[in-house]
Structure 1
């Protein structure tokens, strides 16, 4: 009689997992960036969505005299005249409507609140668009409002220390930071290393940035890269420094942040709950020498993750 074999069985991993609770992360969105520009700009609240930029019409007409000892001095008569039709900036809205079926929010909101996460991801996307518009908007964006005398072209193609020095000459009154695509910053770092002058680094917001002449090079993937060429901007910021300022509307209904409004629009007959999300924003360059741009910067090998803006 054959010896009976004893079979040993154990609970499989697949079966065991049926009783286990998986730890679930909130939904991750790869397009979220640090948006350093939004952090570094000085933001000015405006009334009724309008910001009027008054300027002196002819600074050279403001005259003063230096009195001399033992000499009679004739004091000049002067006055400060203003532009008759100053530019007015109107806040622009970056908006969308978020739809969520009530069945989804009722049944599937544990451990993560479906409405909260849907709003969070939508707001993140709107803020990414806000930063892009601050740089590229055809009306109020930085690149569309550079004074012609504040534009430079690189000498050698790749961004060099000499190029950045020339930008500093253009914005020499308390410049704050350079703004460039990460590919451009990498190209500048390579050029510095090639010349034997590796740039120093500085810590801001818990992150490291390379610097030139003590000014940080702030990365933003919203700075356009087209056909392997990009731009470097240098900004002075703040009203007190007659620099670049961001504009927002305070006191909005459903305010969730500066200029950001989230408003519940109701539930329709298909049980869809809708939320209107709006970011009201604009940007003003208070004086011409608050911004300079280096054009036609070659960034080297064009990586597929670099964005191209037409």
Structure 2
């Protein structure tokens, strides 16, 4: 007879945690998620965030203005028009129901709280999923939100200082950081070093990051690498800067950290306790020039160095 699959932590696994170790469960898929630390988040009370923009004709905004040096010329009249159908961002939700058997939490929480660790690891998974969605979601993800005029390709495949300089010409108003896969950052480091301009290192959050022109390159493994090719993003962030902002709903029932809740939702007749884990989020690009993308970034280009012999 086939045994039914477990829908909650097994007693055997719980005993291992309770009696054989004094460390919390380790999970190698947890990342630092620097993007979430560097991206300002805005509280969205009604679940909808509307981006109102100035209306432009042929991509330009040209109010009627006159520079006066002498005399009393007739002054032009003008007004600032707005888009009549601004874009609205609706918060998305990442949700799951965490199951824990009450016997497990009662009997095997002597050294380590079993429920707390189940919740902690579930929240970590939700945060990892959120970072991936912020970058890759087909509706609002950062890769998709870059306009054609802000998208360029590498000159020769490998990411060079010239390529990153080109990105900086697209987001020149207070650029905050580059966002790239660790392999792309390593590839850029090789190209810069080969040119004799090894990147300067700065420390943020207690960790080192290489920079270009003073702008840090922030790693995220959520940017896809396919056939040794990937993309690099450059962002300006914050509402005050008309940049990129994260969206979230703060103050929901059962909130364990801003915008993320763990809500007890009952115990079944099988002694399975359920907790609903929810994260409401999205991301908005306030102006087109707040983000740019470098495509066709090759990460497999290496150099052979010949050193003179004595």
Equivalent position of 1:44 in the other structure: 42
Equivalent position of 1:75 in the other structure: 75
Equivalent position of 2:66 in the other structure: 65
Equivalent position of 1:115 in the other structure: 115
Counterparts of 1:256 and 1:40, CA distance in 2: 20
Equivalent position of 2:222 in the other structure: 222
Give the C-alpha shift of residue 110 in structure 1.
1.3
Equivalent position of 2:136 in the other structure: 136
Q: Secondary structure at the match of 2:149?
A: helix
Q: 8 Å contact 1:94–1:280 — kept in the other structure?
A: yes
Equivalent position of 1:154 in the other structure: 154
Pairing 1:269-308 to 2, within 5 Å after superposition: 269-300=269-300
Q: Which runs of 4+ in 1 moved over 3 A?
A: none
Q: 8 Å contact 1:61–1:79 — kept in the other structure?
A: no
Equivalent position of 2:26 in the other structure: 28
Q: CA RMSD in A?
A: 1.3
Q: 8 Å contact 1:267–1:273 — kept in the other structure?
A: yes
Task: Give a deviation string over 1:261-296, Cα, whole Å, max 9, x none.
Answer: 110001000000000001110000000000000001
Task: Give a deviation string over 1:162-189, Cα, whole Å, max 9, x none.
Answer: 0000000000000000000000000000
Count, aligned residues: 281
Counterparts of 2:64 and 2:23, CA distance in 1: 66
Equivalent position of 1:6 in the other structure: none
Task: Give a deviation string over 1:129-175, Cα, whole Å, max 9, x none.
Answer: 00000000001100111011000000010000000000000000000
Counterparts of 1:204 and 1:282, CA distance in 2: 25
Tell me, which stretches of 5 or more residues in structure 1 are unaligned?
1-20, 303-310
Q: Relative to structure 2, which stretch is displaced further, 285-294 or 40-49? A: 40-49
Q: Under a length normalisation based on structure 2, what TM-score does the superposition of the two structures give?
A: 0.89
Counterparts of 2:141 and 2:199, CA distance in 1: 29
Q: Under a length normalisation based on structure 1, what TM-score does the superposition of the two structures give?
A: 0.89
Q: 8 Å contact 2:147–2:288 — kept in the other structure?
A: yes
Q: Secondary structure at the match of 2:265?
A: strand
Q: 8 Å contact 1:53–1:87 — kept in the other structure?
A: yes
Equivalent position of 2:168 in the other structure: 168
Equivalent position of 1:94 in the other structure: 94
Q: Secondary structure at the match of 1:60?
A: coil
Equivalent position of 1:198 in the other structure: 198
Counterparts of 2:224 and 2:63, CA distance in 1: 41
Tell me, which stretches of 5 or more residues in structure 2 are unaligned?
1-18, 303-310
Structure having the higher Rg? 1
Q: 8 Å contact 1:179–1:218 — kept in the other structure?
A: yes
Counterparts of 1:145 and 1:47, CA distance in 2: 23
Q: 8 Å contact 1:245–1:283 — kept in the other structure?
A: yes
